[in-house]
Structure 1
């Protein structure tokens, strides 16, 4: 202990501070922080490292598989030509950006939030002519996390609740808070993005797809879309059946290789971001947190802010073990809360891999100020409408 604070917490806090300040070296800082925590626990506590990492291995493999696999998914989706057609169907003013955020949230409700954020980023890059503000990138991450918060198949944390015995209907209450948050975030983010770079009114003349007729007869485009659909369906199916969406995603990627070569370069580009997230997740798992404060709406509200810097998976596991939470409020808090900082959620790390400017934590907080505002307003709206209704028994 130092100043009555466990050394591990100080090392982890130093790692997060380093990532926030020196974002150009975020990977080196995160890995260095992990090694410092591991080294301390081995030296001072004779920590049993192998059993701990063996326990965390399924989660790590799943995160690695999803981040790399969905990077490949994004490339297939980009080359299908559909993102170029989006300006035809989105309004020509700020409401187009808002509608895009709503679409991302809807997609995330039945697909993993990482994939929803990546696909949203691909479309945003096209409809805003490659100039996407950091504030709008924060809104994309918020939309993907908001959509997944109310669905037991939309986020790892809600899936954990479902498997532990929390009824799916208890989690769906989070959609009320998500709707309020996305109303606030969507309006402010879309207006700011429209001032930064207006949405394109028409697809470019060189677009691969020029009308529905061509898309129907083009076997190249059709097979790209088939591959995209296979990856989405594979991830969703294996998430429900195996609680391991990466397995289904990669099986679909291999099947899709019959139609188009696998764009391995995209996976290599996403590898650094995946290792960064894994280092933070492992560091968080090594923290000496045996239990959370007593379950209450105050505690749950605070967990949302904690999720912005501390991985929400171990927080959710502790809450399930402890019991006594309102699972709808908790699902929104730990799901959406990570959107407040880019490295607070896997969706944010995925977006930052495609848009390196998003790694500027100060810019994320400055331009994306409406994300925490949306969190507070959404949380208290749900609390005031439905109240605090904890489960007396622990989830099973």
Structure 2
């Protein structure tokens, strides 16, 4: 069923996203209402990938449950990880290592970029948010929050273990060196975003010049952070190398994170009281991911650099997992361009990536699309500049392999929407 040529499914999803943008103090209620409306519509008048009724819904949930379970485990687990990192005392000792002026914020953003190239982008964003809260006495500009998310997504865009979408490409057979090309654009974008965001932050609240009194370092908590991250990375790499299909059928990454949390709990007790608040943000993201999975996305425009450029803007509001899966089935893309577009593009709106959703749980003021776009205008500028610098330096070199290959169809099960596979 369509209205003005647009499938009703898309209209309902667009209304849900509009509701999130307008009623940012009630995002969970809006997301759950949208999910309910879309589900009821498809049960009564539509279908789920060609299968109607409850059988189609059950098939969709069987298809998506690994992604959703990994998201659940990661978002909740990394809320505890970020708290361990903050309580380790390391963020309070950072002022002695960072420049005192606006350049301290720029260095912090590039630290997030580097962390995200081999860690989870959620963890990198939350670690960056934790450090910013300490360094700026919890007065963090929304433009700087957008920059933290952008840096975390940029850092993972050129690494096959840095983002879900790049891991999907790797599993499907795209050579890792093709994905690395994304770093040309990502570095340019991060430099632009970092400069303006650091200036914004310095004008609002300069960086602390000295360590606060009583600052101390608690090595065991930092060790627990490392153990949790190594568990996630190790599980992902182990199964990617030994049997990638396991990642398609079990939420290995989320389970590995929680196993590490529980095993280290006797050493240093996690702050379990953080979980109810983190759970609300997690349910919100899972609702949007499920809505996106129900959309009747059947085809993309012909593969071209213009299509890849446009997908960056689409990924700001639409789950990048199905977008990447469709592009892999279609073939003919330059995968470095696609990795940058769908990876960095989600930074333009706070709910466009899981890193943004996770950070907004720490900073509720970020849950305003208008404020995010207004304060983080430089993210869009950085995205466009980075894309065209990549186009000018390396050029568009489409890879025609696997136009009808099966591996890409299996990949979406591996992890989540903006959640890396070894970036869990």
1:328 corresponding residue in structure 2:
336
- TM-score (ref. length: structure 1): 0.96
Question: C-alpha displacement at 1:260, in angstroms?
Answer: 1.3
1:227 corresponding residue in structure 2:
224
SS of match in other structure, 1:390:
coil
1:102 corresponding residue in structure 2:
110
Task: Using the TM superposition, name which of 162-171 and 244-253 deviates more.
Answer: 244-253
2:421 corresponding residue in structure 1:
none
1:61 corresponding residue in structure 2:
69
Distance 1:23 1:197 in 2: 25
Aligned pairs for 1:1-396 (under 5 A) are: 1-45=2-46, 46-47=52-53, 48-207=56-215, 209=216, 215=217, 221-242=218-239, 243=247, 244-394=252-402, 396=407
**What whole-Å deviation, never above 9, does each CA across 1:355-376 have from its counterpart, x for those lacking one?**
0000011010001000010000
Task: Using the TM superposition, name which of 45-54 and 242-251 deviates more.
Answer: 242-251
SS of match in other structure, 1:352:
helix
Distance 1:181 1:51 in 2: 40
Task: Using the TM superposition, name which of 363-372 and 37-46 deviates more.
Answer: 37-46
Distance 1:383 1:112 in 2: 27
2:419 corresponding residue in structure 1:
none
1:218 corresponding residue in structure 2:
none
Tell me: higher relative CO, structure 1 or 2? Use CA pairs within 8 A at least 6 residues apart. Answer: 2
SS of match in other structure, 1:392:
coil
SS of match in other structure, 2:3:
coil
Distance 2:144 2:106 in 1: 10
Question: C-alpha displacement at 1:256, in angstroms?
Answer: 1.1
Distance 1:361 1:6 in 2: 25
Distance 2:296 2:210 in 1: 54
Runs of 5+ consecutive residues of structure 1 not aligned to the other structure: 210-214, 216-220
- TM-score (ref. length: structure 2): 0.89
Question: C-alpha displacement at 1:241, in angstroms?
Answer: 2.4
**What whole-Å deviation, never above 9, does each CA across 1:49-72 have from its counterpart, x for those lacking one?**
001111000000011111000000
**Paired residues of 1:80 and 1:225 also in contact (CA < 8 A):** yes
Question: C-alpha displacement at 1:350, in angstroms?
Answer: 0.2
Distance 2:62 2:132 in 1: 39
**Paired residues of 1:149 and 1:155 also in contact (CA < 8 A):** yes
Distance 1:99 1:239 in 2: 29
Distance 2:267 2:29 in 1: 37
Q: CA RMSD in A?
A: 1.0
Question: C-alpha displacement at 1:189, in angstroms?
Answer: 0.3
Question: C-alpha displacement at 1:287, in angstroms?
Answer: 0.6
Distance 1:322 1:268 in 2: 41
